[in-house]
Amino acid sequence: MATYVLVPGAGGGAWYWRLLVPELQARGHEAIAVDLPAADESAGLTEYADTVVEAIGNRTGVILVAQSMGGLTAPLVCTRVPVALLVLLNAMVPSPGETGGAWWTNTGQAQAMAEQAAREGRPVPAEFDPEDIFFHDVAPEVTAEVLARGEQSQSQKPFDDPWPLKAWPNTPTVFLQGRDDRLFPLPFQRRVVQERLDIPVNEMPGGHLVALSRPKELADRLEEYRIRNIGSNVS
């Protein structure tokens, strides 16, 4: 049995992984979805990492999966507890000393998002439209369930914190990107990940919220990475 620890993106809700968790459990593994203190205005990257470390406890051989903004937190965890494999999923990749707030301008995310919309023949909304950006490939009933929860709070503090590591941790790292992601388009992620991590970007169908739109396919891909990087006998 392997242990998957799942770190969400902005909003910090373990609920994001609700469809992936049973898929991993059905394959015989432990799956821990972490709730981050996203609504706490005093909680920054250190507190986010503390929360994940606490969830891991004394487990070893952990496979850490980090979605979107979770890419700021997960590497910090890798310096504190044994992590066998880090999987970045549609994730932000920070540079040493960079804040999460500066990341957007430094990487050229807004231009990349607009260029992707133009390539696909989509208009760019005058205001950010979560349903258009995040839920375009999520089943209507799942979208309705998520939207019924209301907007999830996300404090500014972790975006203001300079990323504290001097270099990426020495943890095997895999990057998986949804090829239909409208927030972080695939060509954009290929460039950023090449510049900052110098590793390949793997792709799968799906948008930014692939754990909601394609949980079975995502579980299959995570299992593939586990076997390839760790081996089939994980306990």
What is the 3 state secondary structure string of 129-164? CHHHHHCCCCCHHHHHHHHHCCCCCCCCHHHHCECC
CB contact at 8 A, 110 and 133: no
Q: Quick one: pLDDT at residue 235?
A: 45
The mean pLDDT of 140-161, rounded to a whole number, is: 92
pLDDT tens digits for range 48-74:
999 999 999 999 999 999 999 999 999
Taking residues 209-222, what's their average pLDDT?
A: 98
Going along the chain from its start, the domains and CATH numbers come out as: 3-229 (3.40.50.1820)
Which letter does DSSP use for residue 61 in this model? S
| 207/192 Cα distance (integer angstroms) | 18
Does 86 have pLDDT greater than 90? yes
